[in-house]
Amino acid sequence: MASTTTTMAIMDIATLTLRSSFGSFALLFLLLISTKVTTSVALNNVFLSVKYKYAGREPSLSALKAHDTQRTLRILAGVDLPLGGSGRPDAVGLYYAEIGIGTPTKDYYVQVDTGSDIMWVNCIQCKDCPQKSSLGIDLTLYDVKQSSTGKLVTCNQEFCLEVNDGPLSGCAGNMSCPYLQIYGDGSSTAGYFVKDVVFYDRVSGDLQTTSANGSVIFGCGATQSGDLGSSGEGALDGILGFGKSNSSIISQLASSGKVKKMFAHCLDGKNGGGIFAIGRVVQPKVNMTPLVPNQPHYNVNMKAVQVGHTFLNLPTDVFEAGDRKGTIIDSGTTLAYLPDVVYEPLVSKIISQQKDLNVQTVHGEYTCFQYSGSVDDGFPPVTLYFENSLSLKVYPHDYLFPYEAFWCIGWQNSGMQSSDRKNLTLLGDLVLSNKLVLYDLENQTIGWTEYNCSSSIKVQDEQSGTVHLSSLVRSNN
């Protein structure tokens, strides 16, 4: 019966209303797994450690830009299509995670994505799914029939109705509830929803964790195309959606009382490590700024830009681009993109700090120069100001990166992008590394503070109120 309803759902999927996301976080986190149990345990604080794809080597300039280009396409695809849906692993994903699903439990490598809503993994019926990965990991196909806790989600269930904003044409009764995702780069994923147990580690004491789990509805990928298909580089088993909708894993766990609707990440820009934490971080203190309402991604209001001691003279509406209001915070993007009217004076001000710089253009788009001194002594910091007096200081060693005999400027001109991406303001790892970034979806705010991502933070157990010390140090092996 399951096979029949699945086939019907996939056959009818082309006639259904499209669901879409706004891209992939592209930061793939290694989830700490301990002995897994099938009893339900409260997930007050969940910790995931970061494994860096490029550990021990630097990606090329072309790889970085190709990653960002595809990333932006996926962000915009979710805005342009009428509804929200699942995300996908990026072809140049930077980090990845291992999670447990089902009973008996099997391990899956997935991408953690703050830019999409649902979780999905490739399924046993999958057509054109990748068979191997260049990351040196074993890929696993999920089979709901092989899990005693796995169940199909049907078209008449509340989740199916809610995720599709009502009944779907051709989807009724006990048929499997389908999903379909089409991206800006032409790739797609399609399948049906299931419900099963997902396993994590939770903080249970100072520098201690215990195994925990929660029931989550997620997509079972049955058909893949484009970069998601069998030839996809750096293939993974699926994605873990941490977007803002009720279908995301953070929203599902929060609605069942297992976690607060809060999470944070701290990315080590030097060593390529860090942490991803679900729960209330009580120390360090983080100043917050409101999220722009009615935006599918994490947008904030930028107010001003300061280079050294000088504020740039900018138009008041410079950080708005059509219907996309505000500045996108996206750790899945490598660099940082500014509108032309911001980029030009900012770069000019940076370059003017040193006389007789021989400025060259590398790969047709990177502004580079030779400099033998300390970049932090020779060039100014750039400070970005946001609503509620929140600021973000970007040091020269953050926005300048070495390439062969040059130093290249990481700031990019979004005014040079295609018309659908023109003059967007988007801040990626270039400015977010070495900062604890906190997402508070309960109060619709986001904030950050400079932090040593190899140190510790304090998190609160929501049931007992106890505050626990948790180390940010995790193995990257």
By annotation, the residues acting in catalysis are 113, 330
Report CA torsion sign: 278, 243, 383, 28.
positive
Instruction: From 222, 162, 215, 164, select the one nearest 191 (Cα to Cα).
Output: 222
Beta strands of 336-415 (E only): which ranges? 336-338, 360-362, 366-369, 382-386, 390-394, 400-403, 406-409, 411-413
Q: How far apart are the first and last CA of the chain?
A: 43
377: its two tokens: 């002594």
| Rounded Cα distance, 73 and 54, in Å | 23
Tell me the CA distances in angstroms from 25 to 22, 29, 97, 435, one per residue in order: 9, 10, 12, 17
Tell me the CA distances in angstroms from 392 to 55, 211, 276, 329, 434, one per residue in order: 27, 36, 20, 12, 11
| Rounded Cα distance, 289 and 293, in Å | 12
| Rounded Cα distance, 155 and 179, in Å | 11
Burial 182-218 (b: 16+ CB within 10 A, else e): bbbbebbbbbbbbbbbbbbbbbbeeeebebbbbebbb
Phi, psi dihedrals of residue 266, rounded to the nearest 5°: -140, 115
Q: Which residues contact 3 (CB under 8 A, 6 or more apart)?
A: 125
Provide the β-strand partners of residue 152: 194
Listed as own residue / partner, the contacts of 468-473 with beta carbons closer than 8 Å and 24 or more positions apart are 468/45, 468/203, 468/204, 468/205, 468/206, 468/208, 469/206, 469/207, 470/45, 470/47, 470/203, 470/206, 470/207, 470/277, 471/207, 472/266, 472/274, 472/275, 473/273
Instruction: From 121, 45, 133, 116, select the one nearest 81 (Cα to Cα).
Output: 116
Phi, psi dihedrals of residue 336, rounded to the nearest 5°: -135, 135
24: its two tokens: 């992939």
Report CA torsion sign: 69, 74, 80, 81.
positive
